[in-house]
Structures are given as structure tokens and as C-alpha cells.
Amino acid sequence: MTEAVRLSKRLAEIVGCSRADAERYIEDGWVRVDDEIVDMPQLLVTTERVSLDPDAVLEAPEPATILLHKPAGFHTIDGDKPASSLVTPAYRWQDDPTGIRLLRRHFNRLTPLVPMETNATGLMVLTQDGRVWKRLTEDADLIEHEYVVEVAGEIVAYGLAKLNHGLSFRGRPLPPCKVSWQNEFRLRFAIKAVQPGQIENMCSQVGLQVTAIRRLRIGKVPLGKMPVGAWRYLPVGERF
């Protein structure tokens, strides 16, 4: 009977590399066991066929940033129904244009950023990358967000002008933003330093009731055509 050994040990013996390098090859998705990609170095193997992709290279792990089209009813940061639960291999957008290979480690220690109302939909960010975290937290007030807001009711006189500049939120005057009508029931907001509940409050101040909010863009990164509930990678080199 062949003794079971860890996959990393078997690969190191086959390839003639160190155990540490073998683990990296496996975690980077370069190793197949009986023609199936396996990314768990601790997997026990016996007589299975183990092979290393001929194009395999050892590169420094690149932290992942995930863009999710959050559905209504999910929480972005805190709550008992986290949107992060949707970030699994099954929900990756089949048309993700990045070409990034899906790896198990991409789902570890993802930090959700840029809060959004629970009932809102649209672009949400989760990241392992400290550079992205810094950009979306320390520079948050400098980054413009774009929203489509569906409303009901009758806007007050000069209400659109007031939405652009002249309202307050939680006792503080709001800086100017860009608000325009898309049709008779839909407004477009291009706004910086937006806080949870702010857009709904702004609309209320001019006689409108918000029926739906969708975030289309954060900085330079758009939601695009990604369907609700799906996610994709942020391409390497793309910045908010």
C-alpha cells in the first residue's frame, strides 16, 4: 500500500524544488491532481497523478480586490446578512474581463469598504490590498461617487438647485455636488464624501421620497454591465 503524503511533499520530490516553493506553486493554482487543479498543499495523495503546469512561475502574491454588485437587503460593513457572503467562486461574473486566475487565497481576509445603505444596490469594494484600503479610507472625501436614484413625489420650487448646493445633513452644510434629472422619476448624483442616509435625507428636504438607490461608480471604477449578485476582480493597475 502506498503511503499517503502531503501534496507539497510529493510535488517537491517530482519537480526537485523546495517544500516552500512547492506550496507556492500549489497555492497559485499551477498544480493538477489527476487533471484537476488543486490549491491545498496539505492535501494527502497516494497514487494520484501529480503534475506541474509547464508555464508555472513563482511570483510574489498579488493581493486581490473584489468588485461586487451588491443586491438590496445585504449589509456592506456590519450586519447579519453580509454582502461578503456572495464573494465565492460560484458568483464570479462569467464575463469578468480581467483574466485573473481564481485562487482560494483571494477570499481570505477581505475587508469591505465604502459603506452603502442596506436597501441600496450597486458597486461595492472588498480588498486584501493595503493601498486600496488607504485610498478608499484616507482619501475618501476626494473620491466622487455616481448614483442613480429613483424618486417619487413632487419636488419643491428650486429643489434641483438646492440638491446641487444649499442643503445640510446632520447639522452641517453639505459641499456642492452635481445632481441632474435622467427622466421624471430618476436623478443622477455625482457626489463626494457621501454618508449613509445622506442621499435619502437630501431628497426628503426637497419633497422627494427615494424608492431605489444604485451606485454606478466609485472614482474611476465603474460598475459596468455586471449583473446583480455577481463579482469580478479589479484589474491590476486600475485605480480608484
**Where do the domains of the chain lie, and which CATH numbers do they carry?**
5-52 (3.10.290.10), 65-140+221-233 (3.30.70.580), 144-218 (3.30.70.1560)
In this prediction, residue 35 carries a pLDDT of 84
pLDDT digits (tens, 9 = 90+) for 3-62: 888 888 888 888 888 888 888 888 877 888 898 888 888 888 888 888 888 887 787 778
Tell me the whole-structure pTM to 2 decimals. 0.81
Q: DSSP assignment, residue 78?
A: S
pLDDT at 11: 83
The conformation of residue 108, written as its DSSP 8-state character, comes to S
Contact in structure between 145 and 178 (CB atoms under 8 Å) = no
Residues 171-181: pLDDT tens digits?
Answer: 999 999 999 99
* Of residues 153 and 18, more confidently modeled: 153
Which among 120, 115, 179 is positioned nearest to 146, based on CA atoms?
179
Q: Give the integer Cα–Cα distance in Å for 156 and 208.
A: 8
Please give the angle made by the CA atoms of 172, 174 and 178, to the nearest 5 degrees: 170
Q: Report the C-alpha gap between 171 and 203 in whole angstroms.
A: 16
The pLDDT-based confidence of 85 (bands split at 50, 70, 90) is very high
